[in-house]
Structure 1
Amino acid sequence: MDFEEAADALYAAPAADFIARRNELAKRLKADGDPDGSTRLKALRKPTVAAWIANLVSRKVPDELDDLLALGDEFREATADLDGERLRDLTPRRHQLLDKLSKEAAQLAGEEGQKLSADVGQKLRETLDAALVDPAAGDAVREGRLSSALRHVGFGVVDENGEPSNVTPLTDERRQAARDRRKAKQAESDSAQEQHESAQREQAEQEEREAAERAKARQAFEDAVAAAQTAEAKVEDLDTQLDRAREALSEAQALVHRVGAELDEARRAARDAQKESREARKRYNRL
C-alpha cells in the first residue's frame, strides 16, 4: 500500500473511525518502508461532517458529480465567450444538478447513519457549487479527500472558517486522470445522444414506411370494397333480368298452351266442317 491508496482508504472510513483508521494506516506505511508517507498521512485532518458527506458523494455517485464538474467547464467557456444567452440556459441546469446531488447526499448520509442538518446541508451545497465554479475545487471534491467544506466567495475558495482553502493539490497524473475521466464521460454522453438521435430518425422512417403501407393497404381495401359493391350491383341487375325473363317465359308458355288448345279446337272444327261438307255433297248428288 502506498500513500495515495492509504489516503483514499482513510477518507472512505466512517468519520467516527477516522483517527483510529489514520493511526492504523500510518503504522502500515511505516512498516512497509514508507516513513515519509506515514508522516504525511498522520498530518491529514479529520473531515468535518459536511466534508465527509462531500467525500461520500464523490465515492458513491461519481458520475453525477462528473456531470456537475462538466457543467462548470461549460459555464467557464460561456463566460470566456461572453455568451449571455448560453449562461442563461446553463443556470437552471446548475440549480437542478445541485438540488439532485444535495438530495442524493442526504440519502447516502442517512444510509451511513449520519443525519444532515440544515447547516450541514447548506455547507455541502456550497461545496458542490464551489466545485462547479472553481476547477481546483472541483478536482479536490472529485478526489474525495476533503477535510473541510468549501465555499466560493468571488475571489477564490475558502473553507468553513472563511480561511483560504488549503486543499491538497492533486498530482499532475491524478489531475489528468480526473480530466480524462470527465472527457470520456462527455464522449460517452455525446455518443449516447447520437445513438438516440439515430434511433429517433430510424423510428421516424419506420413510422413513415408503416404509414405508407397502411395507406396502400387502405386503398387496396377501398378498391376491393368498391369492386365488391359493383359486382353486387351487377348480380342484383342480372337477378332482376332473370326474374323478368322467367316471368316472360311463363307467360309465353301459357300463351303457347292456350294457342295450342285453340289450334286443336280449330283443327277439330275444320275436320267436322270437311266431313259435313262431304256428306252435304253426297246428299246433293243423290238428288
Structure 2
Amino acid sequence: MDLDEVADRLYALPPPEFTAAREAEARAAKEAGDVPLARDIAKLRKPTVSAWAVNKIARRHPEDLAELLDVGERLRAAWQEQDADALAELTQRRGAVTGRLSRLIRQAGDLSPAAAAEVDQTLDAAVVDAGAAGQVRRGHLVKPLSYSGFAPAPILRERPTRRAKPTPEYEAAEAREREEAEARKAREREAAEAAHREWREALEAAQQEYDERAERVAELERKLTKARKKLDDARNRLEVARREERHARRRLDR
C-alpha cells in the first residue's frame, strides 16, 4: 500500500465520509508498522464539494475529461503558433465539451449554485493551464482551481483601416472573442453572486443560532443565580442545624 493508492480510495468518497475513512486508513498503516505513511495519510485534506464532483468525473467519465484536456492542450499549442483558424475551431469544441462535462457533473450530484460555478471555473483552469490539467486528470483535488492569466482565444488579424470594410472572418473572430469575454465575466459574476447568497444565508442562520443560544445562556444564568441563592440559603440552614445539634448533644451529655 502506498500514498497514491490510499488517496485514490479517499478522494473517490463523498466529502462527509472522507474524515472517518482517512482516520481508518492512517490507523491501518500505523498498525502495519508504516508510521511515515500513516503520517502522510493523516495530512490528506478533505475535498470541497466542487473538488469532489470534478474528482468523480475523472473516475467515472475519463474519456470525456480526456477530450476536454486534449482540446486544452491543442488550444495552448494553437495560441503559441498564433493560428487564428485553429483557435476559433478549438474554442467552439471547448464550449461543447465543457458544457457536456458540466451537465454530467451536475447530474452526478446535487450541487449548490456556488459549487457548480466552482466546477466550471476548475474546468476552465484545466483547459488553459497544463498544471491544472494534470491535477484534474489525477482526481485528487481538494479545492476548486482557478486561472488568472490570459486565456487562449481567437487571434484577431490586423484591424482593417477605417476606410476598409471589415472582412467576415475578422468580424466573426471579433464576435467570438466578445462572446468568450462576456461568458467568462458572466460565470465569474454568477459564482460571486452564488457565493454571496450562500454566505448571506449562512450568516443569517449563524446569527439566529447565536441569538437563540445567547438567550438560552442568559436564561440558564438567571436560573443559576437563583439556584446559587437557594444553595446559600440551604448552606446557612445546614450550618445552623449543625451548630444547634452540637449544642443539643452537649446538653444531653451533661
TM-score range, shorter chain: 0.5 to 0.7
Q: 1:131 aligns with which of 126, 133, 139?
A: 126
Which amino acid in 2 is paired with 1:136? G
Instruction: Please give the alpha-carbon distance, in whole angstroms, between the structure 2 residues aligned to 1:71 and 1:145.
Output: 21
Deviations 1:31-65 (A, max 9, x none): 22321111111111111110110111111101100
Q: How does 1:74-113 map to 2 (within 5 A)?
A: 74-109=74-109
Distance in 2 between the 1:128 and 1:71 partners? 12
Per the alignment, residue 8 of structure 2 pairs with 8
Residue number in structure 2 paired with 1:21 = 21
Q: How many Å separate the matches in 2 of 1:155 and 1:52?
A: 27
SS in 2 for 1:154: coil
Q: Write the letter of the residue equivalent to 1:125.
A: D
Q: What does the per-residue CA deviation read over 1:91-122, in whole Å, with 9 as the maximum and x for residues that have no partner? A: 1111111110000001111xxxxx11221111
TM-superposed deviation, 1:155: 7.0
Distance (Å, rounded) in 1 between the aligned partners of 2:23 and 2:111 = 28
Counterpart residue identity of residue 76, structure 1: R
Q: Who is 1:197 aligned against?
A: none
- Matched letter for residue 29 of structure 1: A
Identity %: 39
List gaps (5 residues or longer) in structure 2.
152-190, 192-254
Could you tell me how far apart the structure 2 residues matched to 1:137 and 1:31 are?
A: 35
What is the aligned residue count? 153
Residue deviations 1:224-266 (CA, integer Å, cap 9, x gap): xxxxxxxxxxxxxxxxxxxxxxxxxxxxxxxxxxxxxxxxxxx
1:51-89: CA deviation from partner (whole Å, max 9, x where unpaired): 110111111101100001111110111011110111011
What's the RMSD between the two structures over aligned residues?
Answer: 1.8
* Amino acid aligned to 1:12: A
Which residue of 138, 152, 163 maps to 1:143? 138
Q: Which protein has the larger Cα radius of gyration, Structure 1 or Structure 2?
A: 1
**Corresponding residue number in structure 1 for 2:45:** 45
Structure 1 letter corresponding to 2:13: A
Q: Is the 8 A contact 1:3 1:29 kept in 2?
A: no
Do the aligned partners of residues 42 and 142 (structure 1) sit closer, same or farther apart at CA in structure 2, a change above 3 Å counting? same
Unaligned runs of 5+ residues in structure 1 are 110-114, 161-287
Structure 1: distance between partners of 2:70 and 2:128: 10
Whole-Å separation in 2 of the counterparts to 1:93 and 1:101: 12
| TM-score of the two chains, using structure 2 as the length reference | 0.58
**Structure 1 counterpart of 2:127, one-letter code:** L
Selected match of 2:116 from 102, 121, 128? 121
Looking at both structures, which has the greater relative contact order when contacts are Cα pairs under 8 Å and sequence separation is at least 6?
A: 2
User: 1:141-175 CA deviation, whole Å, 9 max, x = no partner?
Assistant: 1111111001111179xxx9xxxxxxxxxxxxxxx
Aligned equivalents of 1:14, 1:154: Cα separation in 2: 31
**Equivalents in 1 of 2:36, 2:120: separation in Å?**
35
Q: Which secondary structure does the structure 2 equivalent of 1:152 belong to?
A: coil
Q: TM-score, normalised by structure 1?
A: 0.51
Whole-Å Cα distance in 2 between the matches of residues 74 and 55 of structure 1? 23
SS in 2 for 1:148: coil
Does the residue aligned with 1:47 lie in a helix, a strand or coil? coil
